[in-house]
Amino acid sequence: MKVSLKDVAERAGVSIKTVSNVVNDYPHVTPAMRARVQLAIDELGYRPNLTARHLRKGRTGIIALAVPELGNPYFAELAGAVIDVAAQHDYTVLLDHTRGEREQEILVSQGFRARVIDGLILSPLELETEDLRSRTDDPPLVLLGERRYDLPYDHIAIDNIAAARTAVRHLLDLGRRRIAFLGSREGRTHEPAHLRLLGWRAELADYGVAADEDMVVFAQGWGREDGAAAMARLLDAGQRPDAVFAYNDLIAIGAMRVMFERGLRVPEDIAVVGFDDVTESRFGAVSLSTIAPDKQAIARLAVESVMASLGGDAAADGPGRGSRELQPGFELVQRESTLGRGGTPVRD
């Protein structure tokens, strides 16, 4: 049988109002009274009606997360992190994917589900500034990714150029000089692929190594098959890199499959660095060195930005509504694809 506030009040010997104040974390409750009510809550297994609580505030208790591709492990892992953080604020997350299409991103950003969500976290690829100018402030919007908009919305993204430079510097420090970049996206200067390519060029230049543009290979998409196709084209063109920096882990994994099929060893013949640190990168026959964005920080900043815009329970010094540029960190995770099985650089 469902436990009610009245049942808790009777067990604790207090009024229903007092129980409500404890459940809703009202500040003016003495520690002794709070402990007394909490004990009754625990003994009876009472669970608050979160839907009713949100409705009393004129909210639905739902925020939406819209990403380009849910089948991509990076976005799946990010979604899991957002769900975990949102749950700490008693919120449910509605997931949507836009396929990276402008029409879908416009539809999502213009609040086609405004009646059922309290806030939106959107990772756009094709959305333009003019698409957002006519947007109302509701529901609150937080933007993820590299597209920047001169509009009053919090924007969360790692420094892709710096991250790419870190990856390339690692390969250069290992003595690699013919470093290919797999995953260029032609004509899309605002996407992370373009920024990572800029980082590839900049780090080579600073190291005094000429960037060979024949080593830059276009990829149609983000998946393993795209990485395999890009690596095959590179090798078929007579290009033999001694290292590969891939746009993401999936492209790197696809590329390594082709290397194995062609009799090339990783890392002895070709060292490989990916990007995203998805779970799969740790469990291949050769584990993948990769750039690891701080997904937990991205999720926390995004959810807390929505909560602050709603006047919710985010930390007082957390992000709020505005045009803030919030930059989570990243790190280089070194594994077998650059260091070999012994954990030290290997090269014949």
Nearest to 259 by CA among 280, 237, 279, 230: 230
What's the domain range around 184? Answer: 160-293+332-339
In a domain? residue 142: yes
Q: What is the pLDDT of residue 58?
A: 57
- CA gyration radius, the chain: 25
Q: Can you give the pLDDT at residue 11? A: 86
Please give the average pLDDT of every successive group of 10 residues along the chain, which has 348 residues: 79 84 77 87 74 56 91 94 92 91 89 78 89 80 85 92 97 97 77 91 97 94 94 96 97 98 97 97 96 97 92 46 83 97 61
Please give the pLDDT value at position 211.
Answer: 94
Residues 6+ apart with CB under 8 A from 167: 199, 245, 273, 275, 291, 332
CATH code for the domain of 167: 3.40.50.2300
Question: What was the pLDDT predicted at 29?
Answer: 84
Sign of the torsion angle spanned by Cα atoms 338, 340, 343, 348:
negative
In the three-class reduction of DSSP (H, G, I as helix; E, B as strand; rest coil), residue 246 is classed as strand
Q: What is the pLDDT of residue 314?
A: 40
- With a CB cutoff of 8 Å and minimum separation 6, the contacts of 228 are 254, 255, 257, 258
Whether residues 253 and 220 share a domain: the answer is yes
289 within domain boundaries: yes
Q: Is residue 53 part of a domain?
A: no
* 79 and 150, same domain (yes or no): yes
Q: What is the DSSP string of 84-124?
A: HHHHHTT-EEEEEE-TT-HHHHHHHHTTTTTTT-SEEEE--
Burial class of residue 348 in the structure, from the number of CB atoms within 10 Å of its CB (0-12 exposed, 13-18 middle, 19+ buried): exposed
**Same-domain status, 36 and 71:** no
Q: Which residues contact 187 (CB under 8 A, 6 or more apart)?
A: none
- Say what the pLDDT of residue 348 is: 42
pLDDT number for residue 187:
63
Residue 315: the pLDDT is 41
Q: Are residues 288 and 298 in the same domain?
A: no
Q: Within this chain, do residues 171 and 262 fall inside the same structural domain, yes or no?
A: yes
- Specify the pLDDT at position 173: 97
Residue 35 CA to residue 30 CA, distance in Å, equals 9
In a domain, 70, yes or no: yes
User: Which is it for strands 330-333 and 289-293: parallel, antiparallel or unpaired?
Assistant: antiparallel
Q: Are 120 and 64 in contact (CB under 8 A)?
A: yes
Q: What is the C-alpha separation between 97 and 105, in angstroms, rounded? A: 9
| CA 239 – CA 161 distance, rounded (Å) | 25
Answer yes or no: do 66 and 139 share one domain.
yes
CA pair distance 33, 243, nearest whole angstrom = 64
Residues 182 and 283 reside in one and the same domain:
yes
Q: What pLDDT score was predicted for residue 292?
A: 97
- Residue at 26 is within a domain: yes
Name the burial class of residue 27, with classes exposed (0-12), middle (13-18) and buried (19+) by CB atoms within 10 angstroms of its CB: exposed
Q: How many domains does the chain have?
A: 3
The CATH number covering residue 12 comes to 1.10.260.40
If asked whether residues 303 and 284 sit together in one domain, one would say no
Same domain? 102 vs 175:
no
| Contact status, residue 67 vs residue 123, Cβ threshold 8 Å | yes
Nearest CA to 167 among 157, 182, 152?
A: 182
258 occurs within a structural domain = yes
Residues 201 and 282 in one domain: yes
Residue 274, class by beta-carbon neighbours within 10 Å (0-12 exposed, 13-18 middle, 19+ buried)? buried
Pair (193, 276) in one structural domain: yes
Residue 145 lies in a domain: yes
**pTM score:** 0.80
Q: Is residue 54 part of a domain?
A: no
pLDDT of residue 109: 87
Asked whether residue 167 falls in the same domain as residue 269, the answer is yes
pLDDT at 33: 87
